[in-house]
């Protein structure tokens, strides 16, 4: 994976206003991130990313009326839409990516991006590109791979120590935003899963899906490991 070293604002500080996260003074708030990947035998598949902020809907509705909160600029609906269109445009330009769609539901504050990929390896290119687009520096700490012959799907994740350090430097009011936020990953296959290596993850009754849930704060602080080696039946 290419190494992006563009270093300007810290990662979390850049993501904060984008995700509309600086919500309120000292009250906690909630959001859910869901990553759902379906992998076919030939390594192609679909990905859906969902950011559900509806639990903080009324606060966001108030925040959207302001120019800034806790010193972070609040993007307008138009700016958020534009940013999402920009992400979609970038995705379309990646070789192997097609059927890119996105939605922005400002009644419930739910945002989704979906697309198909020709090869699991495309996901690594996309991650790098999106981080680059957001001007977020990235190190080689996350990757997806699919072993030849469809033997296994491997999700590698190493916590970024910079993310933890930046999180710790955040003001308490901003940290509170992450307190009850959750991350969910669902990986689906057209064959059954023989085994998986992450103790947090569970295999579905059909044996064709693996789900993992953890707190976003644990993810940032490196307390949650989301790496997984999923062995598929041959």
Partner 1 sequence: MNRFFQTITALFLVLSVSAQDLAHKIPNDAFAVVNIRTDHFFKLMSVDDFDRSNIGKIIIEKSRQADLQEVNSIADFGIALDRPGYFYATLSDSIVYLSFLLPIADVEKVEAHFAKGETVSSHGKFRSFTKAATGDSVIFAWDETMLSITTPSLVDGYFLQDDVAERYGIRNYSYADYYNQPVDEEATDWGSVEWWADSVYADTAAWDEVAAVADSVYAEADSVAYEYDDYNDATLLGENQDEENLYDTYYAADQEIKRKLANEWGEAFVESQFNSVPVASVLTNRSYLSSVSKDALATLWIPSFEAIYTALLPELLDFGESGDLFSYYGSLQVGLFADKEGFKLRSQMELEDSMAKTFKRIYGRKLNRKFLKYINVDEAIGLFALSMDTRAYLEELPGLLKNTYANLFEQYKDDISLGADLVSLLLDEAAIAKTAKGDALFVLNGLAEQEVPYISYEYDEDYNYTEVEATKVETIPDFLLMFSSDDVSLYNRIMTYTTRKGYVTEDDGVYRLSQEDLPFELVFTRKNGVVFVGTSVEQLASIVAGSYQGKVDRQTRRLLTKNKFAGLLSARKLSKEVPTEQLVSLDRYIAFQKIFGSMGDFYFKSDGVKGNHISAEFVARTPQGYDNAIQYLFGLVDYALDQR
Residues near partner 1 (CB under 8 A) are 26-28, 32, 34, 52, 54-55, 57-59, 61-62, 64-65, 107-108, 110, 176, 179, 186, 188, 204-206, 208-209, 211
Q: E-assigned strands of 1-121?
A: 32-39, 45-52, 68-69, 72-73, 97-105, 110-117
Question: CA–CA separation, 205 vs 229, rounded Å?
Answer: 19
Question: Residues of 158-169 as b/e, b for ≥16 C-beta within 10 angstroms?
Answer: ebbebbbebbee
Question: CA–CA separation, 14 vs 50, rounded Å?
Answer: 19
Question: CA–CA separation, 136 vs 9, rounded Å?
Answer: 8
| 164 vs 175 by CB, closer to partner 1 | 175
Q: What minimum distance in Å lies between the beta carbon of 155 and partner 1?
A: 15
| 29 vs 124 by CB, closer to partner 1 | 29
| 54 vs 197 by CB, closer to partner 1 | 54
> Which tokens in the block code for residue 217?
């704060």
| 133 vs 200 by CB, closer to partner 1 | 200
Q: What minimum distance in Å lies between the beta carbon of 179 and partner 1?
A: 7
| 7 vs 105 by CB, closer to partner 1 | 105
| 4 vs 211 by CB, closer to partner 1 | 211
Q: What minimum distance in Å lies between the beta carbon of 6 and partner 1?
A: 29
Q: What minimum distance in Å lies between the beta carbon of 114 and partner 1?
A: 14
Q: What minimum distance in Å lies between the beta carbon of 84 and partner 1?
A: 18
Quick one: how many helices (H) and strands (E) in the chain? 7, 13
Cβ-contact 155, 187 below 8 angstroms:
yes
Q: What minimum distance in Å lies between the beta carbon of 132 and partner 1?
A: 30
Contacts with 65 (C-beta within 8 Å, 6 or more apart), sequence order: none
> Which tokens in the block code for residue 74?
């609040």
């Amino acid at each position: 994976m290419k190494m992006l070293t563009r270093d300007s604002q810290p990662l979390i500080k850049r993501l904060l206003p984008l995700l509309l996260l600086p919500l309120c003074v000292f009250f906690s708030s909630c959001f859910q991130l869901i990553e759902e990947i379906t992998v076919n035998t030939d390594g192609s598949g679909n990905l859906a990313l969902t950011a559900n902020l509806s639990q903080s809907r009324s606060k966001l509705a108030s925040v959207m009326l302001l120019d800034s909160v806790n010193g972070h600029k609040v993007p307008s609906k138009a700016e958020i839409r534009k940013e999402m269109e920009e992400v979609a445009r970038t995705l379309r330009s990646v070789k192997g990516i097609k059927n890119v769609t996105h939605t922005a539901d400002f009644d419930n504050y739910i945002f989704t991006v979906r697309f198909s990929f020709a090869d699991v390896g495309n996901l690594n290119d996309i991650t790098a590109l999106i981080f680059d687009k957001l001007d977020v520096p990235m190190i080689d700490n996350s990757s997806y791979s699919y072993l030849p012959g469809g033997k296994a799907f491997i999700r590698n994740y190493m916590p970024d120590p910079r993310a933890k350090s930046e999180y710790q430097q955040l003001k308490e009011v901003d940290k509170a935003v992450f307190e009850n936020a959750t991350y969910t990953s669902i990986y689906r296959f057209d064959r059954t899963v023989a085994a998986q290596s992450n103790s947090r993850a569970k295999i579905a009754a059909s044996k064709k899906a693996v789900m993992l849930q953890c707190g976003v704060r644990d993810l940032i602080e490196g307390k949650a490991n989301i790496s997984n080696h999923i062995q598929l039946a041959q």
